[in-house]
Amino acid sequence: MMGRGRFDVLVLGAAILAGLLKVGGAAWAQSPTPSPVSDDAVNRVAKKLYCPVCENVPLDACDTPACVQWKEEIRAMLGEGRSEPEILAFFASRYGMRVLAVPPPRGIELGVWLIPAVGLPAAALWLALRLARWRRGTPAPETAAEVLPDEAAQALDRWARENW
Amino acid sequence: MRDGRRWGVWVGLGLAMAFLVLLGWAFIERGRTAPTRGPAPDFTLPLYEGYDGGLGISEFRLRDWRGRVVVLNFWASWCKPCEEEAALLESLWRSYRDRGVIFVGVDYLDAPSAALAYLRRFQITYPNGPDVGTRISRLYRITGVPETFVVDPKGEVVFYKAAPIRPGELEGILDSLLAPRN
Amino acid sequence: MEAALGQGILMLAWGLGAAGTALAFWAGFRHRPVWGEVARRIALVMAPLLSGLVLLLVVALVQDDFRLVYVAQVSRRTQPLFLKVTALWGGQNGSLLFWSWLMSLFLFVAMARPRRIPGDLLPYVTGTLLLTQTFFLTLNLFFANPFEVFLAPPADGRGLNPLLRHPGMIVHPPLLYLGFVGFTVPYAFAVAALLAGRRDDLWLALIRRWALVAWLFLSLGLLVGARWAYDVLGWGGYWGWDPVENAALLPWLTATAFLHSVMVQERRGMLKVWSALLIILTYALVILGTFITRTGVIASVHAFARSAIGPPFLIYVALVLVGSLALLAWRWDLLRAENRIESWLSRETFFLLNNWLFLAIAFAIFWGTFYPMFSELLFNEKLTVGPPYYDQVTGPMFAALYGLMGVIPFVRWRRTPGVALGPALGSGALAATGMAALAWGLGVRQPWALLGFALCAFAGWGTLLDYGLGVRARRRATGEAWPVALARLVRRHPRRYGGYLVHLGVVLIGIGVVGSRFYPQETQRTLGLGESLTFGGYRLVYQGIRQYVPAAEPDVTVTEAWVQVYDAHGRPLASLYPYVLQYESGESLTPPALRATLKEDLYLLLSGWTEGGNRATFKVFINPLVSWIWIGGLVLILGTLVAVWPAPLPAPQRLPVGQPVREQPAVP
């Protein structure tokens, strides 16, 4: 991976599928000195963040050097007594909305929620109205059954209808 | 009523076409690579405190430095290969700053404390700042770090490398850009 | 040698495919059945040609013929033989050839028995299938050629991507491809019926089984994919709402809607346009999903390497979507309903509701998957739409589907007298309440989880009750013993009871999903040798660690920890060996060690070590009820097999007009 002598996000994509990427031995190992903030507390926050280096992998499952660093940052912030919303807001302001697992329902990000929230009930309403109209309506004029050309066609027709 | 249904189909077709256009556009966007020639995209980079390179600014706006040669370097403190070029970049800055070349470090997806520690460790003095919201790195379509762009006085990208800079690589370009035109 | 031969055969197949496509459509439009027959025979030739190509590539892989670029990309000398063969679908170009090959097999099976295709549809079916085949051959020949050669071949290859060396990943793509390719056949029939202007619905009757077979493979592909993610990726889950997972789920949802709508069409002559639309949509989603997976348009962890297949694929997506929708609009009047809804409380209304829910779920997932793309293009804002969105938006709709599943066995076509529903719904409500009470007793407190379990019980009860009533009725009529009555009942009505068996499988999956989604526990702890951690009623003791290079795969270093698991009373339960694979290429994998029970999975990861292994960091997940997902998956497959088992088409000469068709043979 380091063959080209650089940190390549594209190649990373494949590696991160594994959930973990190890560069050397030490970079990804947990800090040996026990910290007052537990790994679990860090992971609880990290679960809600997505580091752009590993797209679509939650931060808690990603161990690239960048992600390890982010997790240490979370640990430090938790150690300073900062709350989870504060930490999330900090990461969002610094690295962009994309680091949040789900966009907050405001601004441009509203669209992701708005369309399902409005569109789906609207579609349901439309369906109900259609059904009501359909119920009142008269059946379509009976279309003449197609004349089947030969015995083989008739047999096929019967087989398809009776066996299925 | 039948016409109404047909109308629905055409709306569906229209939406499908619009989606296809977006899909094609996204595909083209994905295929585009870093600007290696032509105008360098403009950006504003807020600088880390004390890292204005003596320019007396708090944020670096590329457009304001038209007429100067700008070396744009994308890096991160968690990036091992970046360390290979850090000292070299600093020494180049020191030797070229008096001739009007500006070095700018764009810090990609980095924790502030780790970034500052990295800057101190390599005694970096040229302007550096965080890429807030990864906007600059997306403008330059970087695929990783380090990546280096050289922008000439006319604001055009004249050099691009997606790997650590090696000794002797930048000098030639900088010298030729600085040479008085005949 | 292989390369030249391969190129030659590929060109021949491509030429034949293109000519056959043109010929078939021409024969259809001009009513020249003889030329249609010629096109059909051309279609039959595809399977042997592509089998030859696949064989050539496999031979090249096995013989380490690194003159071929593809072989060097996905294989290496030390690769075990088995993995050399499966490397056939381990890279872009090979997997596209593999895809073409599967397509040609489907083509062969579909076209080998022309008696099963009405004469006026035959040329169009042939043409549409050959068009698809030719499209993939175009990719194989011009854009992703697996027979490209090096001018100067390397001494050894790069080897197969580590992620693809797991058995799950070896079977997952072929199953998914089979599902994807399988939908080409129903799609071809739909296009043919629209082109031929058939007023009747025979074509819909003919494709039901094809759709069900494709659906079976797609379901299998999704299940195996989920299992693979669970066993290999090491993040503790089986479904992450990744864009590529979503891309495979979308056609599954529309296909499931189709399997239901087609019943309404069959029994009541309604929803013909709708069914045709669903098949078109399913196929379009298959192609779209393949496009986004293979061109990396949507950022995903699954992304293939960038390649040249994007533009032709995009054109094909556009052709399929716009062409088919326009065709449907043109033929709209032919497919008008023969009947109308008579009552709100009727099976057709419920099926419409079911279809609406499936489509709404599909739309919500589509929207979440593509919204980041829209947002980046139109507003220059990169976003992530992660699991919380999908859980919150689709969760209630999935729940509603479970509600429908519990009711539907008792709702009749046309209209249902209220009294007929009473006892069934009453007992169902009782079962649901009982389940909720049981869950409460076991400590479940989240309202949504309680509702989820209750709905699963409601759906399961309704389905079982229908089985019970059927068996009882049969026993009354025949006096057979219970097991005999059950077996004969299912054999008599394979579609109904196979379908309900699928419902039971889905209920079990639902239980697993609710349990594991609402009550996962996890912790991460660093232990010294001999130290232990206590979590969720287990005590885990770190016993040791070792490192080795396996002889079969010299490019990987395995670091394996030994953890002894005890229960709360100190009784030993299991020895678990989580490990980390570090590849020379820099990639690595952390497969979990699992102790699975029906109650919960203990899922253990080794996520790091320091001081030469004296201290190691473990991630422990406790995932309740996950096993039920896999059990439910097996039930679902069994049910589909019951429903899909074919009856032979009787020879026409033995069928004097007016006489009933022979009794359907037994389901083995």
Closest C-alpha among C245, C650, C252, B75 to residue A152: C650
Residue C649: the pLDDT is 52
Best mutation site among B19, B29, B43, B139 for testing chain C: the one with the most C CBs within 10 Å?
Answer: B19
Q: Read off the pLDDT of residues C37-79 as tens digits, 9 standing for 90 and up.
A: 999 999 999 999 999 999 999 999 999 999 999 999 899 888 8
User: Which chains does B contact via 3+ CB–CB distances below 8 A?
Assistant: A, C
Neighbours of chain A (3+ CB pairs under 8 A): B, C
pLDDT tens digits for range C13-42: 999 999 999 999 999 999 998 999 999 999
> Residues in chain B whose beta carbon is closer than 8 A to a beta carbon of chain A?
76-82, 84, 109-114, 130, 132-135, 143-147, 162-164
Flag whether residue A41 sits within 8 Å of chain C, measured between CB atoms. no
Q: Where are the domains of chain C?
A: 1-165, 398-518+640-644, 521-627
| Residue C188 near residue C320 (C-beta atoms within 8 A) | no
pLDDT on residue C659: 40
Q: Indicate whether C361 pLDDT > 70.
A: yes
Average pLDDT for C399-408: 94
The percentage of chain C sitting over the pLDDT mark of 90, rounded to a whole number, equals 58
The 3-state secondary structure of A92-160 reads: HHHHCHHHECCCCCCHHHHHHHHHHHHHHHHHHHHHHHHHHHHHHCCCCCCCCCCCCCCHHHHHHHHHH
Query: Is there a contact between C202 and A17 if contact means CB atoms under 8 Å apart?
Result: no
Q: Tell me the mean pLDDT in the region A37-59.
A: 88
A66 to B135: CB separation less than 8 angstroms, yes or no: no
**Interval B45-82: pLDDT, tens:** 999 998 988 888 899 999 999 999 999 999 999 888 89
Whether residue C475 has pLDDT greater than 60: yes
pLDDT band per the 50, 70, 90 thresholds, residue B104: very high
Which of the listed ranges A4-13, B27-36, B142-151 does the model predict with the highest average pLDDT? B142-151
Q: Which of A8, A51, A65 sits opposite B144 (nearest CB)?
A: A8
Q: Residue C300: pLDDT band by 50, 70, 90 thresholds?
A: low
Contacts with A8 from chain C: Cβ below 8 Å: none
- Kindly list the residues from chain C whose CB atom is less than 8 angstroms away from the CB atom of residue A54: 301
Work out the average pLDDT over B122-151. 91
Give yes or no for a contact between B123 and B90, defined as CB atoms under 8 angstroms apart.
Answer: yes
Question: What's the pLDDT tens digit per position in C120-151?
Answer: 899 999 999 999 999 999 999 999 999 999 98
Structure tokens at B149: 């762009």
- B contact test, residue of C272, C304, C321, C328 with most B CBs within 10 A: C321
pTM: 0.89
Place C405 in a pLDDT band, splitting at 50, 70 and 90: very high
The residue that leads in pLDDT, A97 or C418, is: A97
- Closest-CA distance, A77 to chain B, in angstroms, reads 11
CB atoms within 10 A of CB A47: 16
Q: In this complex, do C382 and B9 lie within 8 Å of one another by their Cβ atoms? A: no
d(CA C246, CA C386): 11
For residue B4, pLDDT over 70 is answered with no
Our CA-based measurement puts residue C82 at a distance from the nearest CA of chain B, in whole angstroms, of: 35
State the pLDDT confidence band at C491, using cuts at 50, 70 and 90. Answer: confident
Mutate to test the interface with A, among C384, C579, C642 (most CBs of A within 10 A): C384
What local confidence, expressed as pLDDT, does residue C661 receive?
Answer: 40
Indicate if the pLDDT at residue C655 is higher than 50.
no
- The verdict on a CB contact (< 8 Å) between C333 and B134 is no
Interface size B-C, in CB pairs within 8 Å, comes to: 55
Q: What is the pLDDT of residues C192-248, one digit of tens each?
A: 999 988 877 788 888 888 999 999 999 999 999 999 889 888 888 899 898 889 999
Residue A89 — pLDDT band, cuts 50, 70, 90? very high
Strand C532-535, strand C538-548: pairing: antiparallel
The predicted structure's pLDDT at residue A163: 55
Count other C-beta atoms under 10 Å from residue C317's C-beta. Answer: 23
Q: Is C33 exposed, middle or buried (0-12, 13-18, 19+ CB in 10 A)?
A: middle
Indicate if the pLDDT at residue C533 is higher than 60. Answer: yes
Taking the Cβ of residue B32 and every Cβ of chain C, the question of whether any pair is shorter than 8 Å is answered with no
Going by pLDDT thresholds of 50, 70 and 90, the confidence category of residue A152 is low
- Taking an 8 Å cut-off on Cβ atoms, the answer to whether C650 and A163 are in contact is no
User: Is there a contact between C191 and C324 (Cβ–Cβ < 8 Å)?
Assistant: yes
3-state secondary structure string across C549-574: CCCCCCCEEEEEEEEEEEECCCCEEE
CB contacts, 8 Å: A88 with chain C: none
pLDDT tens-digit readout, C579-626: 999 888 777 888 999 999 999 999 999 988 988 889 999 999 999 999
Contact flag B144-A69 (C-beta cutoff 8 Å): no
Smallest CA–CA distance, residue C335 to chain B, in Å, is 12
User: Vertex A25, ends A21 and A30: CA angle to 5°?
Assistant: 80
Mean model confidence pLDDT for chain A: 72
Looking at the complex, report in whole angstroms how far the Cα of residue A124 sits from the nearest Cα belonging to chain C. 7
Least confident of A21-25, A53-57, C397-401: A21-25
Predicted pLDDT at C299: 65
Look-up of token digits 């032709």: C312
pLDDT (0 to 100) of residue A25: 37
pLDDT of residue C216: 95
**More confidently predicted of C514 and C417:** C514
Query: What is chain C's mean pLDDT, rounded?
Result: 88
**Which chain A residues are Cβ-neighbours of B164 within 8 angstroms?**
5-6
A5 touching chain C per CB within 8 A: no
Q: Which pLDDT score, from 0 to 100, does residue B115 have?
A: 92
Which residues, listed in sequence order, are joined to residue B70 by a DSSP beta bridge?
B102, B151
C564 phi and psi, to 5 degrees? -95, 130
Q: Report the C-alpha gap between A157 and C613 in whole angstroms.
A: 71
* Helix C447-478 × helix C418-441 angle, to 10°: 130
The band of A18, judged by pLDDT with boundaries at 50, 70 and 90, is: very low
B22 vs C: CB within 8 A: yes
Please give the pLDDT value at position C623: 95
Q: Neighbouring chains of C at 3+ CB pairs within 8 Å?
A: A, B
CA distances from C534 to A35, A43, A60, A121, C620 (A): 19, 18, 21, 47, 10
